[in-house]
Protein backbone atom coordinates (compact mmCIF):
# COMPACT_ATOMS: atom_id res chain seq x y z
CA UNK A 1 0.00 0.00 0.00
CA UNK A 2 1.46 3.34 -1.08
CA UNK A 3 2.16 5.88 1.64
CA UNK A 4 0.25 9.14 1.75
CA UNK A 5 1.89 12.02 -0.16
CA UNK A 6 3.73 14.55 1.99
CA UNK A 7 2.04 17.35 0.03
CA UNK A 8 -1.17 16.90 -1.92
CA UNK A 9 -3.43 19.53 -3.44
CA UNK A 10 -6.62 19.33 -5.48
CA UNK A 11 -8.00 22.34 -7.32
CA UNK A 12 -6.14 24.67 -4.95
CA UNK A 13 -6.95 28.26 -5.90
CA UNK A 14 -6.50 31.75 -4.52
CA UNK A 15 -8.16 34.92 -5.76
CA UNK A 16 -7.81 38.48 -4.55
CA UNK A 17 -10.90 40.29 -5.74
CA UNK A 18 -10.90 39.97 -9.52
CA UNK A 19 -7.28 38.79 -9.65
CA UNK A 20 -6.44 35.10 -9.72
CA UNK A 21 -3.11 34.34 -8.03
CA UNK A 22 -3.30 30.53 -8.19
CA UNK A 23 -5.74 28.53 -10.31
CA UNK A 24 -6.73 24.88 -9.76
CA UNK A 25 -3.34 23.60 -8.62
CA UNK A 26 -3.02 19.82 -8.39
CA UNK A 27 0.12 18.43 -6.76
CA UNK A 28 1.16 15.08 -5.31
CA UNK A 29 4.62 15.06 -3.72
CA UNK A 30 5.88 11.90 -1.99
CA UNK A 31 7.74 11.80 1.31
CA UNK A 32 11.50 12.19 0.98
CA UNK A 33 11.31 14.08 -2.32
CA UNK A 34 12.66 17.46 -3.36
CA UNK A 35 10.09 19.38 -5.41
CA UNK A 36 11.53 22.29 -7.38
CA UNK A 37 8.88 24.99 -7.79
CA UNK A 38 9.73 27.43 -10.56
CA UNK A 39 8.02 30.39 -12.17
CA UNK A 40 8.50 34.04 -13.08
CA UNK A 41 7.83 36.79 -10.57
CA UNK A 42 4.11 37.15 -9.99
CA UNK A 43 3.36 33.59 -11.09
CA UNK A 44 1.82 32.64 -7.73
CA UNK A 45 4.71 30.73 -6.13
CA UNK A 46 4.72 32.67 -2.85
CA UNK A 47 0.93 32.54 -2.62
CA UNK A 48 1.07 28.77 -3.07
CA UNK A 49 3.63 28.43 -0.28
CA UNK A 50 1.58 30.67 1.99
CA UNK A 51 -1.47 28.45 1.46
CA UNK A 52 0.50 25.25 2.08
CA UNK A 53 2.02 26.68 5.27
CA UNK A 54 -1.43 27.85 6.50
CA UNK A 55 -0.51 31.55 6.34
CA UNK A 56 -3.35 32.31 3.95
CA UNK A 57 -6.57 30.45 3.22
CA UNK A 58 -7.39 29.22 -0.27
CA UNK A 59 -10.42 30.52 -2.11
CA UNK A 60 -11.18 27.04 -3.42
CA UNK A 61 -9.76 23.55 -3.42
CA UNK A 62 -8.09 21.41 -0.79
CA UNK A 63 -4.58 20.60 0.39
CA UNK A 64 -2.97 18.19 2.79
CA UNK A 65 0.54 18.63 4.20
CA UNK A 66 2.27 16.01 6.35
CA UNK A 67 -0.96 14.04 6.39
CA UNK A 68 -3.11 16.89 7.69
CA UNK A 69 -5.60 19.22 6.03
CA UNK A 70 -4.33 22.80 5.85
CA UNK A 71 -7.61 23.73 7.53
CA UNK A 72 -6.11 22.18 10.69
CA UNK A 73 -3.38 24.76 11.28
CA UNK A 74 -2.65 23.48 14.78
CA UNK A 75 -1.71 20.09 13.30
CA UNK A 76 0.14 21.25 10.20
CA UNK A 77 2.42 23.87 11.77
CA UNK A 78 4.29 21.51 14.14
CA UNK A 79 5.19 19.28 11.19
CA UNK A 80 6.56 21.94 8.84
CA UNK A 81 9.39 24.43 8.57
CA UNK A 82 9.25 27.55 6.40
CA UNK A 83 11.92 29.90 5.16
CA UNK A 84 10.24 32.83 3.38
CA UNK A 85 12.22 35.05 1.03
CA UNK A 86 12.65 37.54 3.90
CA UNK A 87 13.33 35.55 7.10
CA UNK A 88 11.17 36.67 10.06
CA UNK A 89 13.78 37.89 12.55
CA UNK A 90 13.73 40.31 15.48
CA UNK A 91 16.64 42.64 14.80
CA UNK A 92 16.88 43.80 18.43
CA UNK A 93 17.59 40.24 19.60
CA UNK A 94 20.88 38.40 19.43
CA UNK A 95 21.01 35.36 17.20
CA UNK A 96 20.90 33.02 20.19
CA UNK A 97 17.96 34.88 21.73
CA UNK A 98 16.08 34.59 18.43
CA UNK A 99 16.72 30.86 18.11
CA UNK A 100 15.96 30.17 21.78
CA UNK A 101 12.68 32.05 21.38
CA UNK A 102 11.73 29.95 18.35
CA UNK A 103 12.72 26.76 20.19
CA UNK A 104 10.35 27.78 22.98
CA UNK A 105 7.52 28.40 20.53
CA UNK A 106 8.16 24.93 19.12
CA UNK A 107 8.09 23.42 22.65
CA UNK A 108 11.56 21.94 22.23
CA UNK A 109 12.80 20.63 25.59
CA UNK A 110 16.10 21.52 27.20
CA UNK A 111 18.92 20.60 27.01
CA UNK A 112 18.07 19.08 23.62
CA UNK A 113 17.06 22.49 22.22
CA UNK A 114 20.41 24.08 23.05
CA UNK A 115 22.29 21.14 21.55
CA UNK A 116 20.20 21.32 18.38
CA UNK A 117 20.87 25.06 18.09
CA UNK A 118 24.60 24.59 18.63
CA UNK A 119 24.79 21.78 16.06
CA UNK A 120 23.07 23.91 13.41
CA UNK A 121 25.16 26.97 14.24
CA UNK A 122 28.29 24.91 13.68
CA UNK A 123 26.97 23.55 10.39
CA UNK A 124 26.19 27.02 9.05
CA UNK A 125 29.30 28.70 10.51
CA UNK A 126 27.32 31.04 12.76
CA UNK A 127 28.68 30.12 16.19
CA UNK A 128 31.08 33.06 16.47
CA UNK A 129 28.36 35.62 15.69
CA UNK A 130 25.48 34.17 17.70
CA UNK A 131 25.94 36.71 20.53
CA UNK A 132 25.61 39.70 18.20
CA UNK A 133 22.36 41.53 17.60
CA UNK A 134 20.63 40.47 14.39
CA UNK A 135 20.36 44.11 13.31
CA UNK A 136 24.15 44.08 12.85
CA UNK A 137 24.13 40.92 10.72
CA UNK A 138 24.93 40.92 7.01
CA UNK A 139 22.25 39.70 4.63
CA UNK A 140 23.94 36.32 4.40
CA UNK A 141 24.07 35.92 8.19
CA UNK A 142 20.37 36.77 8.45
CA UNK A 143 19.61 34.21 5.75
CA UNK A 144 21.55 31.50 7.58
CA UNK A 145 19.78 32.36 10.85
CA UNK A 146 16.45 32.01 9.06
CA UNK A 147 17.45 28.62 7.71
CA UNK A 148 18.54 27.43 11.16
CA UNK A 149 15.24 28.44 12.76
CA UNK A 150 13.29 26.66 10.00
CA UNK A 151 15.26 23.48 10.75
CA UNK A 152 15.24 23.63 14.56
CA UNK A 153 12.37 21.23 15.20
CA UNK A 154 13.40 18.72 12.49
CA UNK A 155 10.29 19.26 10.34
CA UNK A 156 8.84 16.50 8.19
CA UNK A 157 8.13 18.98 5.40
CA UNK A 158 10.33 22.00 4.72
CA UNK A 159 9.34 24.94 2.52
CA UNK A 160 12.27 27.01 1.21
CA UNK A 161 11.84 30.25 -0.74
CA UNK A 162 15.17 31.33 -2.32
CA UNK A 163 17.28 29.60 0.37
CA UNK A 164 20.65 30.49 -1.19
CA UNK A 165 19.82 34.18 -1.67
CA UNK A 166 22.57 36.35 -0.19
CA UNK A 167 24.86 33.42 0.57
CA UNK A 168 28.47 33.01 -0.49
CA UNK A 169 29.33 29.84 -2.47
CA UNK A 170 30.49 27.89 0.61
CA UNK A 171 27.30 28.62 2.56
CA UNK A 172 25.18 27.83 -0.50
CA UNK A 173 26.91 24.47 -0.74
CA UNK A 174 26.09 23.78 2.92
CA UNK A 175 22.42 24.49 2.14
CA UNK A 176 22.49 22.03 -0.76
CA UNK A 177 24.22 19.39 1.37
CA UNK A 178 21.68 19.94 4.15
CA UNK A 179 18.79 19.43 1.74
CA UNK A 180 20.35 16.16 0.58
CA UNK A 181 20.81 15.02 4.19
CA UNK A 182 17.21 15.86 5.07
CA UNK A 183 15.76 13.88 2.18
CA UNK A 184 17.95 10.92 3.13
CA UNK A 185 16.03 11.01 6.42
CA UNK A 186 12.70 11.08 4.51
CA UNK A 187 11.99 14.78 4.98
CA UNK A 188 10.24 16.45 2.05
CA UNK A 189 11.54 19.70 0.56
CA UNK A 190 9.41 22.19 -1.37
CA UNK A 191 12.03 24.41 -3.01
CA UNK A 192 11.38 27.68 -4.82
CA UNK A 193 14.40 29.41 -6.35
CA UNK A 194 15.65 31.29 -9.40
CA UNK A 195 18.98 29.45 -9.22
CA UNK A 196 18.11 26.75 -11.74
CA UNK A 197 21.31 24.67 -11.37
CA UNK A 198 20.36 24.15 -7.70
CA UNK A 199 17.00 22.73 -8.78
CA UNK A 200 18.67 20.64 -11.49
CA UNK A 201 21.06 19.17 -8.92
CA UNK A 202 18.59 18.47 -6.13
CA UNK A 203 15.02 18.15 -7.40
CA UNK A 204 13.33 14.83 -8.05
CA UNK A 205 10.43 16.64 -9.71
CA UNK A 206 10.08 20.16 -11.08
CA UNK A 207 6.86 22.11 -11.43
CA UNK A 208 6.65 25.34 -13.43
CA UNK A 209 3.97 27.88 -12.56
CA UNK A 210 2.93 30.67 -14.95
CA UNK A 211 0.05 33.08 -14.41
CA UNK A 212 -1.09 30.98 -11.47
CA UNK A 213 -1.31 27.71 -13.40
CA UNK A 214 0.96 24.67 -13.43
CA UNK A 215 2.18 24.61 -17.04
CA UNK A 216 4.84 21.88 -16.80
CA UNK A 217 5.80 19.17 -14.34
CA UNK A 218 8.19 16.24 -14.40
CA UNK A 219 11.65 14.97 -13.59
CA UNK A 220 14.35 17.49 -14.62
CA UNK A 221 15.82 15.22 -17.29
CA UNK A 222 12.39 14.46 -18.75
CA UNK A 223 11.54 18.15 -18.95
CA UNK A 224 14.89 18.96 -20.58
CA UNK A 225 14.29 16.35 -23.27
CA UNK A 226 11.04 18.14 -24.12
CA UNK A 227 12.64 21.60 -24.36
CA UNK A 228 13.38 23.00 -27.80
CA UNK A 229 17.08 23.80 -28.03
CA UNK A 230 19.80 23.40 -30.66
CA UNK A 231 22.48 22.65 -28.05
CA UNK A 232 22.55 21.01 -24.65
CA UNK A 233 19.17 21.30 -23.01
CA UNK A 234 18.92 22.94 -19.60
CA UNK A 235 16.18 23.82 -17.15
CA UNK A 236 16.51 27.39 -18.37
CA UNK A 237 15.47 26.15 -21.83
CA UNK A 238 12.45 24.50 -20.21
CA UNK A 239 11.60 27.67 -18.33
CA UNK A 240 11.80 29.82 -21.48
CA UNK A 241 9.86 27.25 -23.47
CA UNK A 242 6.87 27.08 -21.12
CA UNK A 243 6.78 30.64 -19.77
CA UNK A 244 8.43 32.78 -22.45
CA UNK A 245 10.36 34.60 -19.71
CA UNK A 246 13.94 34.79 -18.48
CA UNK A 247 14.33 32.57 -15.42
CA UNK A 248 16.58 35.18 -13.76
CA UNK A 249 14.39 38.22 -14.43
CA UNK A 250 13.55 39.78 -11.08
CA UNK A 251 15.65 37.24 -9.18
CA UNK A 252 17.08 38.29 -5.82
CA UNK A 253 20.51 39.92 -6.10
CA UNK A 254 23.13 37.22 -5.69
CA UNK A 255 26.00 39.25 -7.11
CA UNK A 256 26.46 42.04 -4.57
CA UNK A 257 29.52 41.34 -2.39
CA UNK A 258 28.13 43.63 0.32
CA UNK A 259 25.56 40.95 1.13
CA UNK A 260 28.13 38.81 2.93
CA UNK A 261 31.27 40.88 3.33
CA UNK A 262 33.92 42.65 1.27
CA UNK A 263 35.65 39.52 0.02
CA UNK A 264 32.59 37.44 -0.75
CA UNK A 265 31.36 36.54 -4.19
CA UNK A 266 27.86 35.56 -5.11
CA UNK A 267 26.87 32.40 -6.86
CA UNK A 268 24.57 32.49 -9.82
CA UNK A 269 24.94 28.77 -10.33
CA UNK A 270 25.62 25.85 -8.06
Residues 210-269 have pLDDT tens digits of 999 999 999 998 888 876 555 567 778 777 877 766 555 555 554 443 344 433 333 323
Closest CA relative to residue 192, chosen from 79, 92, 83:
83
Is the per-residue pLDDT at 100 higher than 70? yes
Residue 268 in any domain: the answer is: no
Task: Please indicate, yes or no, if residue 190 is contained in any of the structural domains.
Answer: yes
Residue 245, pLDDT score: 65
Residue 1: the pLDDT is 44
Q: What is the pLDDT of residues 27-39, one digit of tens each?
A: 999 999 999 999 9
In a domain, 194, yes or no: yes
**pTM of this prediction?**
0.87
CB environment 122-132: b (16+ within 10 A), e (fewer): ebbebeebbee
Looking at the 3D structure of the chain, how many domains does it have?
A: 1
Residue 2 domain flag? no
First and final CA of the chain: distance in angstroms? 37
Q: Are 178 and 123 in contact (CB under 8 A)?
A: yes
pLDDT attached to residue 151:
98
Mean pLDDT of the residues in the chain:
89
- The pLDDT of residue 3: 80
Which domain covers residue 210, as residue numbers? 7-251
Q: Half-sphere exposure of 96 toward its Cβ, with a 13 Å CA cutoff?
A: 11
CATH code, 219: 3.40.50.300
Q: Assess contact for 14 and 30: CB atoms under 8 A.
A: no
Element (H, E) at 104: helix 95-105
pLDDT surpassing 80 at residue 90: yes
| Sequence-separated (6 or more) residues with CB below 8 Å from residue 189 | 33, 34, 35, 157, 158, 160, 179, 182, 183, 202
| 270 falls within a domain | no
pLDDT digits 0-9 by tens, 126-146: 999 999 999 999 999 999 999
Amino acid sequence: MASEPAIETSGLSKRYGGTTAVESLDLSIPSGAVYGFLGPNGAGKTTTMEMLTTLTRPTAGTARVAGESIDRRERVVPAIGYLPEEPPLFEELTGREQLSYIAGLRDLPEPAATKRIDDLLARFDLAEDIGKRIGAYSRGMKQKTGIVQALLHEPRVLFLDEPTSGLDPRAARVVRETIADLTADEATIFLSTHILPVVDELADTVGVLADGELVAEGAPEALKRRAESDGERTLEDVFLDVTGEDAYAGAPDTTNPENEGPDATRERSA
